Amino acid sequence: MTSNNSNGLDRTQTNKEDGLAQLSRSADNTRRIKNVQDKFVNSQNLQKEGRALVGEGILMKVCRKKPKQRAFFLFNDILVYGRVVISGRRYSQQKIIPLSEIQISAPIDSPENPFAWLISSPKKSFVVRANSDRERQEWLTHLERCIRYASEGNNSHHNAVAAHWIPDDKADTCMHCHTSKFSAVNRKHHCRNCGIIVCDGCSKKRFLLLHLDPKPVRVCDSCFTKLNSNTIIDSRANQRDRTADSSDSDGDENAQQYSPIPATFYQNVENL
């Protein structure tokens, strides 16, 4: 009854999450995963025993400069996303985040980003938005269920996560000293610990945040003081082999070309 092997295949039929294991064994699932892999430029091998593709869809990812269209693929153990080269056919810049490291927020609604929520992970945290409230609810329901499934029996789910970087256009002056005005020469920086936009003068110090980088990273003066006085040693700092996710915010894309494509989920949560 209590046997839970690491990939979750030894569950009893009464387990409500068993639908995910069943899905992973279906021929349709194998075909769908191969399909996703084939559509990615330089895809990692996505085929894995026990893995199920639960759903996919296009979400707007709120980046540092502006929102960008990204294709998201929710599996029962990972979240994969990438840049859309040709809608429905070709994707690039594949990013993979283990679900056991992901935290999701409650719905966030603002006039500029309706139907949004926050996805947090150790390396990177970002806001995404769906096309409708209903679609967001579907994503959140499936995400929560898959995160629970992926996190069962491992304790890594309380890792530190990256701060969400406040988009560049949200501040003209430093959010720390409130006096330094940004310009072509006085550039904007982000505190890696709290995500606010600060001037260079207010973020001269570096602090070791091992979930982000093996080297000390830029933090604002307030965070430096706070972090420095905090002597708790984070024992989780040793499993750090993930690559930094910096390329994603680069490049010029026109968000105006965004054409909503409804998300597809391969399981109906209500019927489970």
Question: For residues 147 and 220, which CB has a smaller minimum distance to Zn ion in the complex?
Answer: 220
Say whether residue 220 binds Zn ion (CB under 5 A).
Answer: yes
DSSP assignment of 204-267 = --EE--TTT-SS-EE--HHHHHHHHH-----TTTT---PPP--GGG-S---GGG------EESS
The piece of 5-13, 112-120, 131-139, 172-180 that touches Zn ion (CB under 5 A) is 172-180
Say whether residue 180 binds Zn ion (CB under 5 A).
Answer: yes
Say whether residue 94 binds Zn ion (CB under 5 A).
Answer: no
Say whether residue 166 binds Zn ion (CB under 5 A).
Answer: no
Say whether residue 194 binds Zn ion (CB under 5 A).
Answer: yes
Question: 107 is written with which tokens?
Answer: 């719905």
CB of 136 to Zn ion, least distance (A): 29
68 DSSP β-pair partners = 61
Q: Which of 119, 191, 209, 212 binds Zn ion (CB under 5 A)?
A: 191
Q: Which of 176, 190, 211, 218 binds Zn ion (CB under 5 A)?
A: 176
CB of 208 to Zn ion, least distance (A): 15
SS3 per residue for 95-152: EEEEHHHCEECCCECCCCCCCEEEEECCCCEEEEECCCHHHHHHHHHHHHHHHHHHHC
User: What is the binding site for Zn ion (CB under 5 A)?
Assistant: 174, 176-177, 180, 191, 193-194, 199, 202, 220, 223
